[in-house]
Amino acid sequence: MEGYPVYERFHSWQGEGLHWGKSAFFIRLHGCPVHCPWCDSAGTWHPDHKPDSIVKMNPDELADEAFMACPEIVVITGGEPAIHNLQNLAYQLKSRNLPVHLETCGAFPVNGEIDWITISPKWASPPIEETLERADEYKIIVEDETSIEKWSEALTLKEEDIPVWLHPEWSKSQDPSVLHAITSWVKENGPPFRAGFQTHKLYFADQSDDRSLPEASLSHLPD
């Protein structure tokens, strides 16, 4: 059976989006060709952060581990998880009655039966139509005051009928201009826009499981 390159897997809770607060088992896969300058999971792809060896796990054993945790949902993330064929992993999770969620930049086709798809678009590799059509929510990373307007126009977000979360890029999560830009946009536009935040980071929730690794974030690197 095909093995997936697993960076980490752990039991925590979903700190973002419409499923906020739910008990969640996270499967973080290696690899991402997008290379955002502020990536907070750089350990999955950046040469300075990648571990020396990569664990490969078959979907059956990954799904068993997720099942043992008894989460409400399973979140497949990365890196960019859609660069892998997720069909077998999704199948094994679904066969254990586990709802399968995916976090992707949307630039790649998504394989497999996925219950919930969160698209967080990136300029370096914009989303493709085929994956946009499967989106259940968007997460826009707000780097500065211009981010929201640019993505809103590029993806005609004002016409969307699914939630569009506006998250401060984490290294700017206390930057008044970024927080004000989100607040103003939501007040002026209303739905589908909603203010968001990576609340699990405030709780240090992921670190409560020994299998989770310390965050390897490019924002923490010196220039």
| CA angle (144, 35, 151) in 5-degree steps | 40
220 binds ligand SF4 (CB under 6 A): no
Amino acid type, 192: P
Alpha carbon separation from 159 to 107, 156, 162, 192, 193 (Å, rounded): 21, 6, 9, 8, 11
- Total residues binding ligand SF4 (CB under 6 A): 11
147 binds ligand SF4 (CB under 6 A): no
**Residue 60 Cβ vs ligand SF4, minimum distance, rounded to whole Å:** 26
158 binds ligand SF4 (CB under 6 A): no
Distance, CA of 32 to CA of 41 (rounded, Å): 10
- Dihedral sign (CA 22, 28, 33, 38): positive
Among 6, 27, 29, 36, binds ligand SF4 (CB under 6 A): 36
- Residue that is written with structure tokens 């945790």 in the block: 69
Stretch that binds ligand SF4, among 31-39, 60-68, 147-155, 205-213 (CB under 6 A): 31-39
54 binds ligand SF4 (CB under 6 A): no
**Residue 37 Cβ vs ligand SF4, minimum distance, rounded to whole Å:** 8
**Residue 18 Cβ vs ligand SF4, minimum distance, rounded to whole Å:** 20
93 binds ligand SF4 (CB under 6 A): no
Which tokens belong to 35?
A: 């290379």
**Residue 95 Cβ vs ligand SF4, minimum distance, rounded to whole Å:** 28
- Give the length of the chain: 223
66-85: contacts with ligand SF4 (CB under 6 A): 78-80
Phi, then psi, of 17 in degrees rounded to 5: 75, -170
Return residues touching ligand SF4 (CB under 6 A).
32, 34-36, 39, 41, 78-80, 105, 122
